A = this chain, B = another copy of it.
């Protein structure tokens, strides 16, 4: 066959260029004891029925062992209001800080798993790991989605329909966070030091 037109391309070796991605905060541990939050963009749905998802995590991350041992996590969707916490929880380690406390997030009890859901997130998915597979830099945790919690505020009282987009969800695209309306910040913006303005310059 003949090519109608060629569009000029540059070519590079393989890389992780799938975007835009979700940037959920993953919670793990036990609501009555130790727990943590880690932000993950390497996530997605792997089956509709039964509903199943995965998250890929580097083994050195603090949450890795907590999820491996408990076999449970909660996937909390993120919004513009949660953008600062989303970025911060991806950059900081639970070894050093209590992320719920520092970000003023509310741990709330789920039904199926012991891990706390983030009350401020519009959607929380309770997940139970059924397999862990080594993929290279990351291990993939494959999980059943057992239960959904949806914030009532975004449910239409008459129709019962849930409107996620009313919650102003954000995505992560090539190093930057966007709401579906506007650019929010670059990866790491929550911890970036502001440049001091030089005197005498505007």
**A residues near B, CB below 8 A?**
1, 3-22, 24, 31-32, 41-54, 56, 75, 77, 106-109, 111, 119-120, 123-126, 135-138, 140, 142, 144-153, 155, 162-165, 169-171, 173-174, 176, 178-183
Contact = CB atoms under 8 A, between A and B. Distances in A.
A53 to B, nearest CB: 6
Contacts of A153: 8
B77 A9 contact: no
Q: Report, nearest first, the 4 A-B pairs whose CB atoms are least far apart.
A: A44-B44, A47-B135, A47-B136, A14-B145
Contact of A15 (B51, B107, B173, B183): B51
A51 B136 CA distance: 8
Contacts of A183: 165, 180
A185 to B, nearest CB: 13
Contact of A149 (B11, B137, B174): B11
A24 B75 CA distance: 23
**Most central of A11, A17, A77 by chain B CB within 10 Å:** A17
Contact of A45 (B41, B146, B164, B180): B41
A15 B148 contact: yes
Given A180-B183, A181-B181, A150 B10 contact: yes
A51 B137 CA distance: 9
Contacts of A106: 3-7
Contact of A54 (B16, B46, B48): B46
A164 B183 CA distance: 13
